[in-house]
Amino acid sequence: MSANLRVGFIGAGKMASALAQGFIKGQAVKCASHVSASCPIADKHLLEHMEQMGCQTFHCNKELMDCSDVVILAVKPQIMPLVLPDIKSLVASKLMVSIAAGVQLAQLQADLNPDSKIVRLMPNTPCIVREGVSVFCSGPQVTPQDNATVKQLFGTVGQIDEVKESMIDAVTGVSGSGPAYMYLIIEAMADGGVKQGLPRDLAYKLAAQTMVGAGRMVLDTHTHPAVLKDEVCSPGGTTITALDMLEKSGLRTSIMQAVEAATKRCTQI
């Protein structure tokens, strides 16, 4: 990956902002001015955070394309058909990365041109604190060097894996949408703590750090979550009593159904 790599975002929503901030913090780019974003004038308020970070901003996609090596398509899926014709003639030597849920490589390739170098990638918002997780798949014109650029770029904001395109929608259901599930659990745990008399700030801290620590245990020890769970449960103790309540409440089934619903939604977009 070039030390002078320039990254542009077509679209300036929350995911684009999170990635931009992560790239700058992780020094994936030489300086903030090597990151740019564009959006219509009607949505100019979305560019304010980018400008505060020191990024370049545009209301013209052509200007952004001219100063970018890697272009990240960060618009909503339903907006993609409006954007792609506007840039079709400009993509010849660019590495295009789409983070739009449900938009397949074949569709992107057809709407641009057969020689376009297109990567489909699904990140998540913890990229902003460089604890994200992303997966990607590449179109037929993408070279090994391009794949290496994607891995190095997104590797600065978390973990990155290459997968088959058939897995991308399920990934969206697990990790793309997953932070929202985790925030809901953190909020519920904290509310429970407050109900039992804990100060709210302390309750949020305990719940959030517990989730961080549990995730790190799974990743670092390579131990099955069920084994780690069993290690916390003493016979007749507080944890097994709590787990019994969660099982009776259908927590496991609810989360599995949430992942399924998010995955299916990708095919409806």
Could you tell me which residues are annotated as the binding site for NADP(+)?
10-15, 74-77
Cβ neighbourhood burial of 87 (10 Å; 0-12, 13-18, 19+): buried
Backbone φ and ψ of 39, nearest 5°:
-160, 165
Q: In what order do the strands lie in the sheet with 117-122?
A: 56-58, 35-38, 7-10, 70-73, 95-98, 117-122, 132-138, 158-162
Residue 170 CA to residue 174 CA, distance in Å, equals: 6
Query: What are all long-range contacts of 178-187, with beta carbons under 8 Å and residues at least 24 apart?
Result: 178/124, 179/124, 179/125, 179/126, 181/255, 181/258, 182/211, 185/211, 186/211
Instruction: Mark the binding-site residues, compressed into ranges.
Output: 10-15, 61, 74-77
Query: Could you tell me if 65 and 94 are in contact, meaning their C-beta atoms sit under 8 angstroms apart?
Result: yes
Q: Distance (Å, rounded) from C-alpha 76 to C-alpha 100?
A: 6
State which H helix or E strand residue 87 sits in.
Answer: helix 80-87
DSSP assignment letter at 10: E
- Nearest-angstrom CA–CA distance, 32 and 48: 14
| Binding-site residues from annotation for NADPH | 61
**CB burial of residue 196 (10 Å; 0-12, 13-18, 19+):** exposed
> Distance between CA 33 and CA 50 in Å, rounded?
10
